[in-house]
Amino acid sequence: MGITDGLVAGSQRHQVRERAMGLLYEAETKGIAMADLVASLELSLDAYAYTLVMGAAAQQPEIDARLEKLSESWSVARMPALDRAILRLASYELACSSDISVAVIINEAVELAKAYSTKASSGFVNGVLSKVATQVR
């Protein structure tokens, strides 16, 4: 497993986020630690994707506690697994990537929800992340 060097251009970040979402989902569904999953990868993981997945995994208890509080009437355990992965990823990015605008992070998360989750997920993700952004930014 290798980590590529360099910064990711904005137009490439969607693919990076998509891969990060997939890895967060995979680690949870397989019940394995993110570090173990990353170590087992055959393809190089982009440096930004590595930062996202390792950061979201390390901060998952805090992220989940915030999501639990802000997602009215929805426990984190009750959310679809892909929604959890998207929300954890974007919550980490909102809290730790101050160089990227709130609108870009939320829009990317909504697009991932539209592409990979249920019809209602994009609105749910948008609403929860708007509240997260208010708290962490």
Average pLDDT over residues 113-119: 96
Task: Write down the pLDDT at residue 73.
Answer: 83
Return the pLDDT at 11: 65
pLDDT score at 7: 44
Cα gap 98→64, rounded to integer Å: 20
Neighbours of 135 (CB within 10 A): 12
Rounded average pLDDT over 101-112: 97
The more confidently predicted of residues 10 and 55 is: 55
pLDDT (mean) for 34-41: 97
Tell me what pLDDT residue 3 has: 40
In 3D space, the residue among 128, 29, 118 whose CA is nearest the CA of residue 88 turns out to be 128
| pLDDT at position 58 | 98
List CB contacts of 17: < 8 A, sequence separation 6 or more: 49, 52, 89, 93, 108, 109, 112
pLDDT band at 5 (very low <50, low <70, confident <90, very high): very low
What span, in angstroms and rounded, lies between the C-alpha atoms of 14 and 18?
6
Q: What is the pLDDT of residues 62-89, one digit of tens each?
A: 999 999 999 988 899 999 999 999 999 9
pLDDT band, very low/low/confident/very high, at 136 (cuts 50, 70, 90): very high
Buried b (16+ CB within 10 A) or exposed e, 91-120: bbbbbebeeeebeebbebbbbbbeebbeee
